[in-house]
């Protein structure tokens, strides 16, 4: 059956859809071998074999969809390494790189609610393929699948050992382990019923306090996304620990459904997004690890990253929002120290060009142990060091329709804002949406979803009150249209 008339579209990181409505066995059976063929066309000259890695997370029927993927890719003439268990998406990216395969096909819907499943396509280099590659896959969807004269083979593999070994080599595991076993540091992890389950324990070689580690394809009625509204249990557990324990330091980590994104909770129970974690990581890698190289940040990243990079004589490269732009920069230059986005994706130049929640957790743990400081204390110290204090928040505003989106866009293009909430606009950056820098050096960014009537509003200002005042102003401004 031709799929030319059906809306299979790859977004910023893969194809996702509702199970049984958009994401079905029949449709996957057409897309997967075409994806394998495009990977062969693009990376066949550098790969050492015609192998495709196939992996999956813990979503409903993920194993069955992975097995279907392996079968149809094998029938198309490719050898397949099929995972024998769930694992983080970065583990399969690592497997593609380490095994010098053509790439990886990962069955996951990342942070989406439980009704969704999807397919992420990873290249031989160990990261997400770009839109030029997914466009090639989409262009072939009108073709009927073809069977190879000689099918490939399927073998199973355990993705965890090699992945863990690669991550362990990058930090002082023994020092972290000693802090945990010696009672100096208590580690919590909310794996959100996802693919990070058991991961930190394997990496550290000692048990940690893991919650939501059971498999729940409905994710407790929420979504496996590292946001405060989904973390009531972690907050409760850590508050109880703070009241009843004598341990000096504690930290809680949060991983999304496929463990490529991270957030944290400090010892006082405060939520820490990557806007806070990335500056802490910059300081740790630059001062204790003595790393050098570019800091790659999206334009929605905190200005504290810029101040720290200046303090440590690190160059900065700014990209549009989306980790794929960070990965592109990592592939363009070998001099990247760290790249991160405000939604929790952080990657490292000494690894594959892929965001990795568990590796980020290890570096954060190393920073805590070597500084002997709670994360929020470390963050305040960095603010004092740079003289830059700020707060940050964002909201997603659902518009009444795409015509409202068009009117707002026309207004921004033809009559740019010159004043926002009583403060003059001194600069506007337009590499992704509209980022207005104001005369008090705060900023407001306005971005549009490309596929739905949603306006994304981001703000950083000296105080949280000013942040919310600016976001409320932007909300009211948008609602006039």
Measured distance CA(166)–CA(203) in Å, rounded: 10
The pTM of this model reads 0.94
Residues 27 and 102 in one domain: yes
Continuous H helices in 76-198: 89-98, 131-139, 160-168, 173-181
**Span 307-317, average pLDDT:** 97
Residues 178 and 211 in one domain: yes
Q: What is the rounded CA–CA span in Å between residue 279 and residue 304?
A: 7
For the cut 50, the answer to whether the pLDDT of residue 109 exceeds it is: yes
Q: Is residue 164 part of a domain?
A: no
Question: Which pLDDT belongs to residue 146?
Answer: 79
For 29, phi then psi, to 5°, come to -65, -25
Give the mean pLDDT of 100-127.
Answer: 96
Average per-residue pLDDT for the chain: 94
Q: How many domains does the chain have?
A: 3
Boundary-marking domain end, from 105, 135, 159 = 159
In a domain, 3, yes or no: no
Three-class DSSP category at 404: helix
* Mean pLDDT score, 257-278: 96
Does residue 7 sit within a domain?
A: no
In terms of domains, do 290 and 303 share one?
yes
Burial of 154 (0-12, 13-18, 19+ CB in 10 A): middle
Residue 337 within a domain: yes
Nearest-Å Rg of the Cα atoms of the chain is: 23
Tokens 């990253």 map to which residue? 305
Same domain assignment for residues 211 and 238: yes
Q: Is residue 9 part of a domain?
A: no
Structure tokens at 389: 């204090």
Q: Which of 159, 179, 209 delimits the end of a domain?
A: 159
- The answer to whether residue 4 is domain-embedded is no
Q: Give the pLDDT of residue 3.
A: 45
Measured CA to CA, the distance from residue 277 to residue 263 in angstroms comes to 8
Classify 418 as helix, strand or coil: coil
Residue 442 tokens read as 């705060």
321-366 tens-digit pLDDT: 989 899 999 999 989 999 999 989 999 999 999 999 999 999 999 9
421 contacts 459 by C-beta, under 8 angstroms? no
Q: What is the CATH number of the domain that holds 412?
A: 3.30.310.50
Query: Are 177 and 135 in a shared domain?
Result: no
pLDDT at 5: 45
DSSP assignment of 345-403, as one string? -EEETTS-SS--HHHHHHHHHHHHHHHT--HHHHHHHHHHHHT---EEEEEEEEPS-HH
Q: Are residues 67 and 121 in the same domain?
A: yes
Mean pLDDT of 393-406: 91
Q: Which domain-ending residue is among 100, 134, 159?
A: 159
Region 459-464: mean pLDDT is: 96
Mean pLDDT to the nearest integer, 40-62: 96
% of the chain surpassing 90 pLDDT: 89
Residues 255 and 324 in one domain: yes
Q: Are residues 140 and 202 in the same domain?
A: no
Q: How confident is the model at residue 453, as a pLDDT? A: 87
Q: Residues 414-430: pLDDT tens digits?
A: 998 999 999 999 999 99
- Residues 186, 114: one domain? no
pLDDT at 6: 54
Average pLDDT over residues 439-455: 88
Q: Which two tokens stand for residue 15?
A: 């194809």
**Do 355 and 419 belong to one domain?**
no
Mean pLDDT within 182-204: 97
> pLDDT by residue (tens digit) across 359-371?
999 999 999 999 9
Strands 185-190 and 209-211: parallel
* Distance between CA atoms of residues 54 and 103, nearest Å: 9
> Rounded CA gap, 53 and 201, in Å?
25
Same domain, 319 and 399: no
In order, the DSSP letters of 308-334 are HHHHTT--EEEE-SSHHHHHHHHHH-S
Strand partners, 190: 211, 254
Is 341 strand, coil or helix?
coil
Whether residues 131 and 227 share a domain: the answer is no
Range of the domain at 252: 170-386
CATH (domain of 57):
3.40.120.10
């Amino acid at each position: 059956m031709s799929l030319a008339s059906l809306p299979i579209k790859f977004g910023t990181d893969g194809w996702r859809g509702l199970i049984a409505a958009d994401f079905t066995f029949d449709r996957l059976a057409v897309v997967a071998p075409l994806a394998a063929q495009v990977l062969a066309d693009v990376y066949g000259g550098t790969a050492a074999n015609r192998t495709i890695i196939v992996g999956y997370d813990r979503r409903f029927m993920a194993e069955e969809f992975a097995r279907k993927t392996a079968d149809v890719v094998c029938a198309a003439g490719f050898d397949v390494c099929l995972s024998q268990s769930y694992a983080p998406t970065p583990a399969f990216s690592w497997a593609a790189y380490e095994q010098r395969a053509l790439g990886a096909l990962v069955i996951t819907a990342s942070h989406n609610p439980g009704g969704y499943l999807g397919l992420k396509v990873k290249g031989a280099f160990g990261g997400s393929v770009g839109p030029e590659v997914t466009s090639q896959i989409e262009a072939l969807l009108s073709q009927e699948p073809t069977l190879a004269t000689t099918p490939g083979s399927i073998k199973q593999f355990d993705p965890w050992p090699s992945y863990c070994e690669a991550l362990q080599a990058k930090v002082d595991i023994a020092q972290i382990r000693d802090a945990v076993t010696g009672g100096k540091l208590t580690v919590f992890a909310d794996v959100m019923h996802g693919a990070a389950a058991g991961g930190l324990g394997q990496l550290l070689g000692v048990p940690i306090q893991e919650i939501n580690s059971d498999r729940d394809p409905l994710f407790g009625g929420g979504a496996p996304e590292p946001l405060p509204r989904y973390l009531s249990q972690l907050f409760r557990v850590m508050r109880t620990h703070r009241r009843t324990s004598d341990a000096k330091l504690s930290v809680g980590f949060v991983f999304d459904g496929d463990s490529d994104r991270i957030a944290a909770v400090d010892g006082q129970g405060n939520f820490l997004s990557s806007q806070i974690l990335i500056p802490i990581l910059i300081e740790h890698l630059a001062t204790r690890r003595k790393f050098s190289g570019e800091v790659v940040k999206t334009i929605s990243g905190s200005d504290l990253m810029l101040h720290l990079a200046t303090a440590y004589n690190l160059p900065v490269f700014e990209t549009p929002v989306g980790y794929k732009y960070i990965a592109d920069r990592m592939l363009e230059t070998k001099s990247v120290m760290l790249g991160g986005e405000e939604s929790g994706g952080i990657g490292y130049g000494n690894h594959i060009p892929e965001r990795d929640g568990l590796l980020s957790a290890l570096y954060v743990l190393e920073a805590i142990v070597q500084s002997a400081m709670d994360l929020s204390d470390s963050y305040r110290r960095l603010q004092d060091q740079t003289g830059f204090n700020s707060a940050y928040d964002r909201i997603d505003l659902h518009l009444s329709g795409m015509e409202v989106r068009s009117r707002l866009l026309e207004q921004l293009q033809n009559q740019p804002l010159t004043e926002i909430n009583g403060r003059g606009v001194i600069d506007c950056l337009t590499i992704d949406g509209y980022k207005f820098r104001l005369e008090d050096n705060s900023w407001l960014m306005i971005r549009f979803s490309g596929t739905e009537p949603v306006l994304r509003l981001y703000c950083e200002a000296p105080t949280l009150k000013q942040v919310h005042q600016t976001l409320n102003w932007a909300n009211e401004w948008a609602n006039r249209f």
